[in-house]
Structure 1
């Protein structure tokens, strides 16, 4: 049973414009922040612009954007990169045999001429599309495809994407146009899941892996010409050799790296850029036509990660979650954009079921649990992402209200993980955002991102080897071999177990707010994922 595409009715996005009636709508949404979220609501646009025929796109135009996330410490190599900016960039320059559309999340044939063809329960074949070449001019071969899968699966490369394709037994070249994918068992999500492996040129990677990491070579509709390392601008040009179904509709793109909220918002309102991500809550209703603001509900979340080697008693971890004032976090901290987690996945997700343990604001219970666990001091470490800047002081105050000592640190995201990964200093609790749904939406993938691979389970949360860890791995492996309701039920059992043990757990799921110029961008669709997508988007300028 494929579950990667949510119900269509859940995909409508809200269009917020600066009207008198909107203010009341936003206030109502704020009041309802702690309740069930039905996805998105809509408000009408002032004036008659919506009924006018769209302007013609310019094949010589340039798409401009402001990106809130900074460049990660690793580069753009699709085997290793996981930062929001570089992953979004790779949507435009790289391709897998299949891809998930960033807006619809529907799987489509990308570098493959068609979706994988099932030969039997454990064998699939994919034929490359005609005329496919890399942006450096070299033709795509089945050898490149095999190499791309093998480098991800090679444990020496420590690719985080390997945990998403554990069902793959082998990928081999049947001939010079077709590859054969053999799975270890019958698997229901082959087409969706192989999209995480981007096909790269073997010769270029082997010749200079570092150069490839800095300036990747792919088969996507755009080619990167400036990686932003020195300029803080990521620049793309149309890939004239592209032969796929989703060609670049603009001649070029320029993405400015603008982590500061005010700078990014000013760039939008002054028409310096045509779209921005992570619109600050304060600006949701202040932008006027032709600027639209959309907030799309997705899996993206703020999570709390525990050092399970220190907070070994689940009661201590539970105490932290019971200490949080979710209503204040949602209303004061996140405005209209957050819903407290009642499960590992958000309520719109096809696998959602309210977890057996749901955390609510209960100070007395939190105090009792933290006392039982014998914890009197917590080292709290938070990332400095601007979009939850109003949430951090609330969390800190909530923990201090337990009568314990809270040692607080705030760092850039890359520095937080460098600090944790290198055991640079003491930490007990990390609060940070996450959104593995950029790689896929099925429950197995979302679970494996945090609870499957060694980077998170061992290096970071020090959870690997525990009884719960072992049980979760067995349940994950069992679930992927099931289908239909049995598969859903098994995933929901994992949700329940994690809700009680909480080695890492969401505080809330969020709507992703995007602003865009509805006159100059044609075909633009706000997405529920972290980042911006200009796949099948053109511009009038």
Structure 2
């Protein structure tokens, strides 16, 4: 994705947006964990057994509500997850399986030639206000995302699109700037909105949007809850299995655990690792491997971090087995590549870092580095706080004097964007937006705020080589495409301007006796698509 930051204001905006996503997604954040268990392939009736269609599903959500629901701008964990149930794109990516399926489109995009696709809308699709979905709404939805004046983050996910035009009342034509093999996956990042509603009362739409999904938002109160009703005129592949939903916003971990233990809610996300044994007796609990990672990032404009040997030394210094066992209670997988091992495009990188303090010391010596002293910038995310002291301990064991600089994400990224850091350790997960390697790599390694204003590696010859590989890969397919991605994985594993330390597991708890069809996710959030409450 090529971020539009040609002006200083654009650069500041992108920095703010990216930092906001870091805060909201535990990034908080799209992917993860392809291969995670889950049924939702986009087929109706995935809920198992009899369900009570009059029930209200109740959940405990770990993030508070911040900002609106407009799918062109929102990046918050809560709003993005809510929109899975309320909004639809021509295609969608299942939150559990990470598979693409036809949503507002009757079928997946039909390829006409190398740069031309057509999508026919499904019959009878209507918005929550009763208006029929038109091809004009589809064209408008794409154009508002692509318009630079709207400063939509999602424009960068579809910058391969040259035009979207209505062919007739039911079909749209999509022309790409060049051959691009991930069209079906990327169309899911644009949700179709009713033009008349957005243009007539944007504030009302942003607060409670009219979508085409199986549920309709009825209320959203920060610090309290979000409520949904079943949309009875839904015509898509995943009809609501309950009368409604209530999401209690419980940012306090103890409150979520109590709500689940007491039966106040039927499912909670982001179970604290230490509370997993407590909940296992009364609830189903599963930690699903995700793409979500903890990365280490260097200011490559600053010596000695312009030398890849120094960056490599920091990775060899770390005892990841100890860090994961002690700091994460085993709920992570040490990185052996940019992707986790369960991702369908996984390739073990040419350089895999193991705990080798002597090699780390030798790399520093080879680079002429002595008596190195650093500030290790970290966010105040709870689980990051558990591992940061262990990282400090391992770095000091190879002679790197380390001072921890812990703070809220927004403030820490403000310092980073001003160049005021040495090394940063922070969480990240763009997999909520998509699962393909191109999207996941370009989030951090594209020609954008990360490479320009954060780790500042965009003027390195190896960066240019990486862009070439990524550009070639999206125009290739099959084994050729995978080989190009493999070369990219190898390059970043060797250069490590920013690179994962581990990919974490996401723990979810739910009442397996009350919820039919529920699956824990490899991304932030809870999905109740195809989920029902068992009949009493």
TM-score over 0.5 (shorter chain): yes
Q: Is contact 2:455–2:498 with CA below 8 Å preserved after alignment?
A: yes
Residues 1:303 and 2:299 aligned together: no
Residues 1:237 and 2:226 aligned together: no
1:409 to 393, 405, 409: 405
Greater relative contact order (Cα < 8 A, sep 6+): 2
Task: State how far apart, in whole Å, the 1-side matches of 2:457 and 2:153 are.
Answer: 17
**SS of the counterpart of 1:287?**
helix
Which residue number in structure 2 is paired with residue 267 of structure 1? 259
Which residue number in structure 2 is paired with residue 257 of structure 1? 249
Task: State how far apart, in whole Å, the 2-side matches of 1:203 and 1:117 are.
Answer: 28
1:339 to 315, 327, 333: 333
Shift of 1:282: 2.3
Q: Is contact 1:292–1:518 with CA below 8 Å preserved after alignment?
A: yes
Q: Deviations along 1:341-395, whole A, 9 cap, x unmatched?
A: 0100111222222211111222333344456365833232222333444212212
Q: Deviations along 1:460-495, whole A, 9 cap, x unmatched?
A: 333333322222111111011111111111001001
**SS of the counterpart of 2:523?**
coil
**SS of the counterpart of 1:246?**
coil
Residues 1:86 and 2:79 aligned together: yes
Q: Is contact 1:163–1:452 with CA below 8 Å preserved after alignment?
A: no
1:443 to 437, 440, 448: 437
Which residue number in structure 2 is paired with residue 33 of structure 1? none
Which residue number in structure 1 is paired with residue 471 of structure 2? 477
Which residue number in structure 1 is paired with residue 427 of structure 2? 433
Unaligned runs of 5+ in 2: 1-30, 39-46
Residues 1:172 and 2:140 aligned together: no
Q: Is contact 1:278–1:387 with CA below 8 Å preserved after alignment?
A: no
479-488 vs 437-446, which moves further: 437-446
Task: State how far apart, in whole Å, the 2-side matches of 1:110 and 1:12 are.
Answer: 21
2:120 to 112, 124, 127: 127
Which residue number in structure 2 is paired with residue 35 of structure 1? none
Q: Is contact 1:57–1:538 with CA below 8 Å preserved after alignment?
A: yes
Q: Deviations along 1:125-156, whole A, 9 cap, x unmatched?
A: 11122222222333322122112222222334
- Supply the RMSD in Å over aligned alpha carbons: 2.7
Task: State how far apart, in whole Å, the 2-side matches of 1:275 and 1:212 are.
Answer: 28
Q: Is contact 1:259–1:386 with CA below 8 Å preserved after alignment?
A: no
When residues 182 and 496 of structure 1 are mapped into structure 2, their CA distance, relative to the original with a 3 A threshold, is same
2:508 to 511, 514, 522: 514
Q: Is contact 2:447–2:458 with CA below 8 Å preserved after alignment?
A: no
Task: State how far apart, in whole Å, the 2-side matches of 1:116 and 1:277 are.
Answer: 33
96-105 vs 161-170, which moves further: 161-170
When the two structures are aligned, how many residues end up with a matched partner?
A: 493
Q: Is contact 2:293–2:500 with CA below 8 Å preserved after alignment?
A: yes
Which residue number in structure 1 is paired with residue 379 of structure 2? 383
Q: Is contact 1:274–1:517 with CA below 8 Å preserved after alignment?
A: yes
2:499 to 501, 505, 527: 505
Shift of 1:199: 1.3
When residues 520 and 287 of structure 1 are mapped into structure 2, their CA distance, relative to the original with a 3 A threshold, is same
Which residue number in structure 1 is paired with residue 276 of structure 2? 284
2:286 to 286, 290, 294: 294
When residues 240 and 429 of structure 1 are mapped into structure 2, their CA distance, relative to the original with a 3 A threshold, is farther
TM-score (norm 2): 0.84
Task: State how far apart, in whole Å, the 2-side matches of 1:410 and 1:6 are.
Answer: 28
1:149 to 142, 147, 165: 142
Q: Deviations along 1:243-271, whole A, 9 cap, x unmatched?
A: 21212222222222323332221221111
Residues 1:69 and 2:81 aligned together: no
**SS of the counterpart of 1:512?**
strand
358-367 vs 436-445, which moves further: 358-367
Task: State how far apart, in whole Å, the 1-side matches of 2:110 and 2:244 are.
Answer: 35
Task: State how far apart, in whole Å, the 2-side matches of 1:5 and 1:294 are.
Answer: 16
Residues 1:526 and 2:520 aligned together: yes
Task: State how far apart, in whole Å, the 1-side matches of 2:408 and 2:298 are.
Answer: 18
When residues 292 and 61 of structure 1 are mapped into structure 2, their CA distance, relative to the original with a 3 A threshold, is same
Task: State how far apart, in whole Å, the 1-side matches of 2:277 and 2:287 are.
Answer: 12
Task: State how far apart, in whole Å, the 2-side matches of 1:529 and 1:80 are.
Answer: 19
When residues 180 and 102 of structure 1 are mapped into structure 2, their CA distance, relative to the original with a 3 A threshold, is same
Task: State how far apart, in whole Å, the 2-side matches of 1:492 and 1:139 are.
Answer: 45
Task: State how far apart, in whole Å, the 2-side matches of 1:503 and 1:5 are.
Answer: 21
Which residue number in structure 1 is paired with residue 21 of structure 2? none
Q: Deviations along 1:259-287, whole A, 9 cap, x unmatched?
A: 33322212211112111112222233333
Q: Is contact 2:32–2:432 with CA below 8 Å preserved after alignment?
A: no
Q: Deviations along 1:164-217, whole A, 9 cap, x unmatched?
A: 223322111112221101123333222122111111223333445455444333
Matches within 5 A, 1:343-382: 343-370=337-364, 372=367, 374=369, 376-382=372-378
2:133 to 130, 140, 146: 140
Q: Is contact 2:33–2:290 with CA below 8 Å preserved after alignment?
A: no
**SS of the counterpart of 1:268?**
helix
TM-score (norm 1): 0.84
**SS of the counterpart of 2:350?**
coil
When residues 129 and 496 of structure 1 are mapped into structure 2, their CA distance, relative to the original with a 3 A threshold, is same
Shift of 1:104: 2.2
Shift of 1:55: 6.6
Task: State how far apart, in whole Å, the 1-side matches of 2:488 and 2:133 are.
Answer: 40
